[in-house]
Chain A
C-alpha cells in the first residue's frame, strides 16, 4: 500500500508538469484554433533559461523561476507576432507547418549554443520526510504545490477576470470581439504570454525534478502534453489539467507494476481507447457550427 501511495505521489509530480504544459496547447487552440507545435520546445527553452540563470547568474530558485517564466512568455509573444500572426487568415495547415518550423528552429538554435546535455545544479535544499513507510521529498511537494497554485491562478484568470472573459469571447467568435471595444491582438498576445509562461514554469520544475536537460527534451514531453490537452478536451482549460494528471498517473503506475518498457505503450493505448469512447475529450464538447 505504501508503495502505491509512493507511486501516486510520483504520478502527481509528473502529472502536474504535463498539466502545466498542456495548458499552453489548449489556451492557444481555444483562442486561435491552432496547435502551437513549438510549445514543447518553449518548455525546453524554459529549462535552459533555468540553467543559464542558475549557473551563470547564480540566482536562487524564486528569481530563476520568475525570470524563466517571463523570458519564455516574451519569446512566446514574439513568436506569435512574427511567425503566426501573418498566417492568421491562411489555411490552418500553413500555421501548423510554421509552428513545427519554429519548434525545429528553437531546438537547433539551442543545439548550436549548447551541443551537450547540461546538468542543473540543485537550486533548493532537498529534504526528505518519512511518514510511516512513505518518503516524501520537499522537491516533490514543491513541484506539486507550485503547479497546482499556477493552475488555480489561471483558472481564476480565465473564469473570473475581464481578460479571461475576453479570451472566452474570442474562442467563440473573434470577428465580433472588436465591436465590444476589445483589441483581439492584445488578448491573443496575453494568451500566448500566459500559456507559454506556464510552459516555461514547467521547464524549470521539470529540470529541478529530472536535472539533466538537452535541446531535444521538449519533443517527447511536448507530444505527451499535447495528447493530455486532447484527452481533456482541446480548448478546455480544466480538461488540460485533468488530462495531464491522467497521463502522469498512467505512466507512473504502469512503470510501477509492469516492466518499464511497457510504459509509453500502455499509456498511449489507454489514451487512444479514451479518445474512441470520448472523441472530443473528457470535458470537450462538439463545437456547434457557426455561420
Chain B
C-alpha cells in the first residue's frame, strides 16, 4: 500500500493510565521485513506501545498498519489484519493443551491446509512443542511457554509480530535460542517489533532501535549505531 514499504506507522502516540502518562507523543515506523526494537527500563512505556498497537488499550494519536487506521478496530479483528502480539508474561492458557493453544491462535483463519502446514512449521522450529502437544500449557517450563507463545503468533499467520520481553525469566542459553529463532522467523519474511530490557541481544539482531525513557523516545538509530552510543552503553549495556 505504501510506496516506501512502511508496514506499521505510529504517529504522536500517547497512552495514559488514570492521570499517569505512560507513553508521551511517540512516533516511529516499522518497514516491511525489519526487526525494530524498543529498549528501555521497566516502566518506560514499551509494553503500552504494543498494547495500543494491538488494540488492547485506548490511546490518542494515530496507528496505521498497511495504510489502514487501526483506531476503531477491536483487538480480535486487528489479529485478522496480520498483527500478532506475544504479550508480556507469554499469556499461555494453562488449562488448554499445547496443541489447543496453537489451534486457538488460528481462530480467524479458514485455510485448513495452510493451517496444517503452519502447525508443522511451528513443530519444526520448536520440536519440544510437538513432544508436549497433549500436555496442558500450564505444565510447560518458562522457555517452552515462550516457544509456545511465539508458535501461537506464527499460527495466526501474522505479517507483523509484536514481541514483549521474550527474554524475561529465561536462562541465558534459552534467551540466545529464542533470539536465534526470532532472527530465523524474520529471515523467513516476518516483520518484528521487539520490546526488550535485554538491550544487548536485541540491538544485535535489530535493524533499527529506539530508546525509551519515561514514555518518550530519547534516541534512535540502527542496531549498530545504538550499540556504539556511549549513552546506551552506560545505561543499558552495563558500561
Binding site for B on A (CB under 8 A): 162, 165-166, 168-169, 171-173, 175-184, 288, 291
A169 to nearest B CB, angstroms? 5
* CB-based nearest B residue for A186: B76
Q: Once the chains bind, are B94 and A178 in contact (CB under 8 Å)?
A: no
B99 to nearest A CB, angstroms? 10
B199 to nearest A CB, angstroms? 25
* CB-based nearest A residue for B97: A165
Write out the residue numbers on chain B whose beta carbons fall within 8 Å of the beta carbon of A182.
76, 104, 107
Q: Once the chains bind, are A173 and B103 in contact (CB under 8 Å)?
A: no
When chains A and B are docked, how far (Å) is the Cα of A168 from the Cα of B152? Answer: 17
Q: Is B74 an interface residue (CB 8 A)?
A: yes
Range, interface on chain B:
20 to 34
A163 to nearest B CB, angstroms? 10
Write out the residue numbers on chain B whose beta carbons fall within 8 Å of the beta carbon of A291.
89
Check A181/B156 contact, CB under 8 A, given A162-B107, A166-B107, A176-B91: yes
Q: Once the chains bind, are A179 and B91 in contact (CB under 8 Å)?
A: yes
Please list 24 pairs of residues, one from A and one from B, whose beta carbons are closer than 8 Å in the complex, sorted by A's number.
A162-B103, A162-B104, A165-B96, A165-B103, A165-B104, A166-B107, A169-B95, A171-B95, A172-B93, A172-B94, A173-B93, A175-B56, A175-B91, A176-B87, A178-B55, A179-B75, A179-B84, A180-B156, A181-B77, A181-B79, A181-B80, A181-B107, A182-B76, A182-B104
Q: Is B108 an interface residue (CB 8 A)?
A: yes
Write out the residue numbers on chain B whose beta carbons fall within 8 Å of the beta carbon of A184.
76
Q: Is B14 an interface residue (CB 8 A)?
A: no
Q: Is B190 an interface residue (CB 8 A)?
A: no
Q: Once the chains bind, are A180 and B96 in contact (CB under 8 Å)?
A: no
Write out the residue numbers on chain A whose beta carbons fall within 8 Å of the beta carbon of B100.
165, 168
Give the contacts of B102-149 with A (CB-CB under 8 A). Answer: 103-105, 107-108, 138
Write out the residue numbers on chain B whose beta carbons fall within 8 Å of the beta carbon of A178.
55-56, 74-76, 79
Q: Is B85 an interface residue (CB 8 A)?
A: yes
Q: Is B54 an interface residue (CB 8 A)?
A: yes
Q: Once the chains bind, are A173 and B91 in contact (CB under 8 Å)?
A: yes
Select one of A162, A176, A181, A183 contacting B93, CB under 8 A: A176
* CB-based nearest A residue for B85: A179
Q: Once the chains bind, are B79 and A183 in contact (CB under 8 Å)?
A: no
B42 to nearest A CB, angstroms? 15
Tell me the dominant secondary structure on chain B's binding face.
Answer: loop
Q: Once the chains bind, are B104 and A180 in contact (CB under 8 Å)?
A: yes
* CB-based nearest A residue for B95: A172
Write out the residue numbers on chain B whose beta carbons fall within 8 Å of the beta carbon of A162.
103-104, 107
When chains A and B are docked, how far (Å) is the Cα of A123 from the Cα of B132? Answer: 52
Q: Once the chains bind, are A180 and B152 in contact (CB under 8 Å)?
A: yes
When chains A and B are docked, how far (Å) is the Cα of A171 from the Cα of B94? Answer: 10
Q: Once the chains bind, are B104 and A169 in contact (CB under 8 Å)?
A: yes
Write out the residue numbers on chain B whose beta carbons fall within 8 Å of the beta carbon of A180.
76, 79, 104-105, 107, 152, 156
B87 to nearest A CB, angstroms? 6
Write out the residue numbers on chain A whose beta carbons fall within 8 Å of the beta carbon of B80.
181
When chains A and B are docked, how far (Å) is the Cα of A267 from the Cα of B178? Answer: 56
A62 to nearest B CB, angstroms? 34
When chains A and B are docked, how far (Å) is the Cα of A177 from the Cα of B105? Answer: 9
Q: Once the chains bind, are A168 and B93 in contact (CB under 8 Å)?
A: yes
When chains A and B are docked, how far (Å) is the Cα of A177 from the Cα of B100? Answer: 13
A63 to nearest B CB, angstroms? 34
Write out the residue numbers on chain A whose beta carbons fall within 8 Å of the beta carbon of B95.
168-169, 171-172
When chains A and B are docked, how far (Å) is the Cα of A166 from the Cα of B108? Answer: 12
Write out the residue numbers on chain B whose beta carbons fall within 8 Å of the beta carbon of A175.
56, 91
Which one of A168, A171, A179, A180 has the greatest number of beta carbons of chain B within 10 Å?
A: A179
Write out the residue numbers on chain B whose beta carbons fall within 8 Å of the beta carbon of A166.
104, 107
When chains A and B are docked, how far (Å) is the Cα of A176 from the Cα of B75? Answer: 10
* CB-based nearest B residue for A169: B93
| Per-residue A-contact encoding for B41-85, CB less than 8 Å = 1, 0 else | 000000000000011100000000000000000111101100011
When chains A and B are docked, how far (Å) is the Cα of A268 from the Cα of B80? Answer: 50
Question: Which 5 A-B pairs rank lowest in CB-CB distance, beginning with the nearest?
Answer: A181-B79, A178-B75, A176-B91, A181-B108, A181-B107
* CB-based nearest B residue for A176: B91
Check A181/B105 contact, CB under 8 A, given A165-B100, A172-B96: yes
Q: A173-B91, A181-B76, A181-B77 are in contact. List 8 more A-B contacts (CB 8 A).
A: A162-B107, A166-B107, A171-B95, A179-B85, A180-B105, A181-B79, A181-B80, A181-B156
Write out the residue numbers on chain A whose beta carbons fall within 8 Å of the beta carbon of B84.
179
Which one of B76, B95, B103, B156 has the greatest number of beta carbons of chain A within 10 Å?
A: B76
A10 to nearest B CB, angstroms? 36
B40 to nearest A CB, angstroms? 22
